[in-house]
Each structure stands twice: as structure tokens, then as C-alpha cells.
Amino acid sequence: MKIQERTGAGAGRSAGPAQPSAGDRLPTAPRERKPALAALAVLLILLGALGATTLVLQAGDRIEVIKVTADIQPGESVTNSDVTSVMVAADDSINYVRWSQLSTLETLKAKTTIYKDTVVMGQMFGTGSTLSAGKAVVGLSLKEGQYPAKLKTGDVVAAYRVSSNGSSSGDSSSSSSSGSSDSPIVSQAKVSYVPDTKSGDNSLVSSTNLAVTLTVDSGDAAALAQAAATGSVALVLVPGNGN
């Protein structure tokens, strides 16, 4: 009788393992919070946004300045035909000459050679004479045939005495003052200025005469000026880098 009761009691039990009660579960590890890293990430994001904004603002702060489109020789001034305007980023540490200051710049002289495509800085020009010691500047009025085609500023030329009609067999007064007609008055002279007829520079003495300025040695200036006064000068291009 007792054996049957035990068997009946065991039949009602489950064959699976007993489940732990809610109070018997293992505790989970708490998540470690890092507020310092989160703050650093936010700060980096803000700094990146601020830097990008600054670059955009600086890119938009541009000014219009002067750039030369042809070589400017020492002692020369710029004209409307040899400059253009370009936009650059504003920078107070750079002495740009603004496009609005062009009229003032035209009254100044280049201190040194300023090459084509150079953005002009204020220190490149001055009011004083830039003529080197021992040099002189002589102006000529030349007819067609007395100067090479496409003569331009910076060219090196030789000046020969000719008769007023362009012939090398000058009159007796010319030949006596110049010696042999084969000897140049000036063997090397730099063209300091010649008008650019394509740009509308009207520095022409007449419909056929061209105004040319030469830089020569002081010792040659008098003879060249005398020949120029009578229109007895012809120019020939020669190889060289100038005076």
C-alpha cells in the first residue's frame, strides 16, 4: 500500500531539470559610461563645422587687383593696354594694388622689370627715377622704313645714321659728323617705350611717324639726339639682352 502511494506521487513530477526562480538569475555587468569621450566627439564635430565655415567665408572675401599682361621695363609706367584685372583672396599682409587704383599706378615708374602675368604689388613701383648711372633716355620720331616691323618694348637695337630720305649715303654734314656710314651711332640700345598700335595707343607723331624711346649710354646720347632732330636715324634689331 505504501509502495503504490510513492509511485503515484512520483508520476506527477516533470522529467526536465528544475528552472531557477526569478531570484536565482545571475546579475549582468553594468554598462560603463564615458561622458568625457562623448563630449570630445561633440567638440570635434563643432570644430570641424567651424573650420569649414571659416574657409567658405574666406573664399568669398575676394578683391579685384591689377595683373600685367606684358613685360614692364624699369622706368616704364603701365597703361590700359598692358594690364588686366583678376580676383584674389583678400590678405592684409600682401600689398596688392587694387584695380580701382589703376589711375594712380599709371603715374608711377617700375623699379625693376615686371614680367607678364605678374600680379602687381605696391613695392614694385615708385615715383623716383629708376635710370641707372651712366644711362640716358633719347626720344625718336621714326618714319616707316626707319624701324623694324613689330618693334616692341625691351628689344635691343642699333641706331645708324641715314639721310632724311632713308638712304645710307647721307649728305656731307651727316657723313662728316658720323664718320663711316657703316658705323652705328649706338651699337646697342634698349627700346624703353614703343606704342602698341594694336591696342589703340596713339603715341604716333603723325600718320606715318612712330615715337620710340631708347635707353643708351650717356656718351652716345648727344650724337643720337642730333641725328634724331634731323630725322636721320634708322634702327636695326640686334641680338642681346639689353643694357
Residues 206-215 as b/e (b if ≥16 CB within 10 A, e otherwise) read eeebbbbbbb
Query: Is 232 inside a domain boundary?
Result: yes
Whether residues 143 and 233 share a domain: the answer is yes
Whether residues 140 and 207 share a domain: the answer is yes
The single residue listed with the C-alpha cell 599682409 is 93
Q: Which CATH number does the domain housing residue 96 bear? A: 3.90.1210.10
Whether residues 110 and 142 share a domain: the answer is no
Whether residues 144 and 168 share a domain: the answer is yes
Whether residues 183 and 107 share a domain: the answer is no
Mean pLDDT of the chain: 76
Query: Is 190 inside a domain boundary?
Result: yes
Give the angle 104-110-113 at the CA atoms, nearest 5°.
145
Distance CA 35, CA 56 (A): 32
Whether residues 220 and 189 share a domain: the answer is yes
Q: What is the pTM of this model?
A: 0.46
DSSP state at residue 85: E
pLDDT, residue 6, reads 54
Domains held by the chain: number: 2
Q: Which residues form the domain of 71?
A: 62-126
Range from 5-9, 39-43, 179-183, 218-222 carrying the lowest mean pLDDT? 5-9
pLDDT, residue 169, reads 41
Distance CA 111, CA 10 (A): 117
Element (H, E) at 136: strand 135-142
